[in-house]
Structure 1
């Protein structure tokens, strides 16, 4: 059973109240004005990347599809809206019958994006599209921020294993979403069992310092863990004296000891010392796992250390300094009626400064050079140039209210690895810089 099947098996409760009140009041006013059914196009995009970032990573698309499928108002919700006098009775009746019946196109999950990239396009009546604004943005802004941080850490790790272990540093539901997004961005495992259950992400975990402190001696703790979990377990060796703990660990588990974990100190220096000691004790295959408030910069600084895996928590689940992508969800085109024959008219907010938008229903394509390396993000509203026809980025996700493009997390993860590899090499630099691809409007 793949991760997409697991997600459906667990099920997702109604997402209809994961919204802002003004979305419902806009529906009420539009129903009264006779404009609620006007055919409309909304797009999700970001006007800029987080400061200094060179590319973004789209994550959360699968969760958005779940949210759209499960966006409906049950009797209890309708009763709440009535009791709170949020909207009037005609609007409550409309909401009680609501099911999204429109179309959704978007960048496939795991793809990279840049300022202006229309990562999600929602089409249908104004009323049904506007209702989705908050839930779409809350998922994409959170998950894409985590995936971008994960991608940077994955690039810095250069193939070494990455363990997501941030569940104790964020909201319990955000922890599950973070583990999912981190997996898309290149992490290998998670400590969070709910994420493993819902999405099929491989889970890992052995013991904390408390387990060592529980026992009368460190040797007793190691012996209890090895007897329970086997010689291939990971022993935490920095509760007291690291050198003594490593010696004891090998004596207890033998050279078959799976790994030791270091959670404090000068990780570069300690990792070298531990590797030398393990080799001298004959535990040449024993791995070294390091934790302790790591981020992409700390991981990069350990590139020369004999480290086999990194465990990352706080910095990952907070987006490593950028906890949101600042995506917005804007009406970019609308017709005069619900008639499909009526032309779509471009619309856009005209603001002072950096908050203006580009109107029109957009396509997006990525132009590459002769070597296949990406060189520009091209966005347009008219015909797609012939040379970009096979480089288009948006794919159909929902047709007539029905999801048509479910896929496994593994597919999204592999897509991201491929998309990142197709960027110029400067995309992997951790120093602050401009987006690695320019956005061109045609």
Structure 2
């Protein structure tokens, strides 16, 4: 009798476990039929993954599943669901997804790709250290103003000859993060500095760039490897993203000389020609501020966001998402939302302006992501974009090498980042 009772109990437990598993599986986000090993490769254009996910969202809704090969990914498409995940359920979605390319570059040891306690301690350390070194304070604004002066003089030395400004912008932006991390800027022609920029562009290792001291505690997260990798994270992110945004922005402005003219009128009215732009000017320059925001919105630099994971079994809306599932909280679905930004594929500063011409904030403006994993350098990047772009247009007018109507401002679309097309431009002194 006892044996029969035990068998009945075990059978009931097995049936319950099976029912629970099936029930949870049914509640998981829908998606296209998946093939073994190759996943959904036939439903996805890997050269333009954001567009493929946009099409799938129309069929499966704002929360759906795709397989990149054997890797399961839950895609979040649209402002409402991205906000629910990254802000309303910030802790649950605070893990970092593990894409092979990111793993190879960052090795999971810096603040970009680490997880758990390592990530918490490194991020807290990085934010505190950056603040101590002047980020978000008047001191760092002064450094940006000084670097903007060097950039303007370097552009002036081109004597109106057409050239690709990419390196100039990268060197200027990089010097800001160098002054924070290494304590000093570099001359633009410094061989070591130029080599350093080349290493960033090639995604090579920079672990020898900083010396730290390991604590005696064997469980400490502050090892030479993690701190060196964190320095690389800051250096890489602090150079590439902002300089690429500026490079794309200058390309866009060549196509719209009427926008440049409005910016320059605002500059002449608020700043004039006798002093450098500062952040206090931004509140008095709503049109320029709107243009800077629209550049970031329009270029949609990281369309899929850097991947997240859920750190525990999680429920989002009516769906069950198992622990460690990779998440794509797509930024392109937020930045190009047609209800918030009418005609989102069109570059229009009016997306950030009220009817009276004042600046209009938008909760949909998420180029730096949102929640626990929001970019640590957001404040620095905002200052750099405004001051550098304003300083350039304060001193120069842009002259394209082709008719402005023929300029192609669409990005070279890739899965991880949208990169501007190569171009040359002349800077004419005002």
User: Would you call these one fold, judging by a TM-score over 0.5?
Assistant: no
Higher strand proportion (structure 1 or 2): 1
Bin of the TM-score, shorter chain as denominator length: under 0.3
Normalized against structure 2, the TM-score is what? 0.25
Higher helix proportion (structure 1 or 2): 2
Normalized against structure 1, the TM-score is what? 0.24
